[in-house]
Amino acid sequence: MKILVTGASGQLGSEIKELSVNYTDDTFIFVDREEMALDNLTQVLSVIETIDPDLIISGGAYTAVDKAESEAELVDVINHQAVATMAQWAKQNNRKLIHISTDYVFQGISSTALKEDEPTNPINVYGLSKQKGEEAIITSGADAIIIRTAWVYSSYGANFVKTMIRLMTDREEISVIGDQVGSPTYAHDLAQVILEIAHSEKWAKGIYHFSNEGEISWYDFAVAIKELKNLACHVRPITTAEYPTAAKRPSYSLLDKTKIKQTFGVAVPEWKQSLSNMLAKI
């Protein structure tokens, strides 16, 4: 199988690259901004046509949530129009697509874990662009799997875990939001699931949710990082209102993973074990 992976140097792309060595029968082509700029739709189509993959893993995206508020047009091209281009090519050429989406497509006011058929209603520009990307895939009729995930971190790239370690090492006290609830996703676990699905005989197009098991706040996440790293910094919980940002954040975005587990038989590790695995790696 020839697999094209976008967002090669991102957290997820880097984890897929690391795991790709286990799939010796496949040919992986990893592309990033230099090889395939997602804001250049002509180039996107040209690169895909040249590579002619059996499967596209669409992991590249504009993910600077706050900056997106002032760059709506650019965000739409990358997260919506480029995705539409991939989906249309996949449909026309009878190829498969796995696209990574986000919990930010939801409004974030639920009190129970979000299922795949829950109505979407984004509260920021980034979320809206990702919603449009999902809709473009569905409209295209492509043989595609959309995986919504949340709170992604990895030993690669910049993320919450690395930021917390740096701040807790430098400071005696930090404040972390305690009223936004969800579950983090170790990108290594997500990469494994994507590759398992890609090689599964049970391929079933549609939308799926994946994050690690558990329900925590960002504050709980920070405290766990502190404890596992044995850092002395005091972590203080604050409210969302005390930490204003350009983009609104969902207050509750816990994803229900029942469908992906039942359909593909994949394992969903518990969040603290995955965090421990990542910290051991760095």
Q: How far apart are CA 80 and CA 88, in angstroms?
A: 12
Average pLDDT over residues 152-168: 98
Cβ–Cβ < 8 Å for 87, 137: yes
| pLDDT given at position 197 | 98
Q: Which CATH topology does 2-157+185-211+255-269 take?
A: Rossmann fold (3.40.50)
Count other C-beta atoms under 10 Å from residue 130's C-beta: 29
Q: Which amino acid is at 146?
A: I
Strand 173-177 with 27-31, pairing: unpaired
Nearest Cα to Cα of residue 13 among 148, 195, 191? 191
- Quick: pLDDT tens for 210-235: 999 999 999 999 999 999 999 999 99
Q: How far apart are CA 90 and CA 218, in angstroms?
A: 37
| pLDDT given at position 59 | 98
- Quick: pLDDT tens for 32-82: 999 999 999 999 999 999 999 999 999 999 999 999 999 999 999 999 999
CA angle 73, 79, 85 (to 5 degrees): 105
Average pLDDT over residues 111-117: 95
- For CA atoms 16, 136, 143, 53, the dihedral sign is negative
Question: 260: pLDDT confidence band, cut at 50, 70 and 90?
Answer: very high
- Quick: pLDDT tens for 175-216: 999 999 999 999 999 999 999 999 999 999 999 999 999 999
| pLDDT given at position 157 | 95
Domain ranges within the chain, ordered by starting residue: 2-157+185-211+255-269
Question: 169: pLDDT confidence band, cut at 50, 70 and 90?
Answer: very high
The whole-chain average pLDDT of the chain stands at 97
Quick check: helix, strand or coil at residue 4?
A: strand
- Quick: pLDDT tens for 16-27: 999 999 999 999
Q: What is the 3-state secondary structure (H, E, C) of 178-192?
A: CCCEECCEEHHHHHH
Average pLDDT over residues 236-254: 96
Quick check: helix, strand or coil at residue 142?
A: coil
Catalytic residue IDs: 126
The secondary structure of the chain in percent helix, strand, coil, rounded to multiples of 5, reads 45, 20, 35
| pLDDT given at position 216 | 98
For the entire predicted model, the pTM comes to 0.97
Question: 106: pLDDT confidence band, cut at 50, 70 and 90?
Answer: very high
Count other C-beta atoms under 10 Å from residue 279's C-beta: 15
| pLDDT given at position 72 | 98
| pLDDT given at position 202 | 92
Average pLDDT over residues 252-269: 97
- Quick: pLDDT tens for 126-148: 999 999 999 999 999 999 999 99
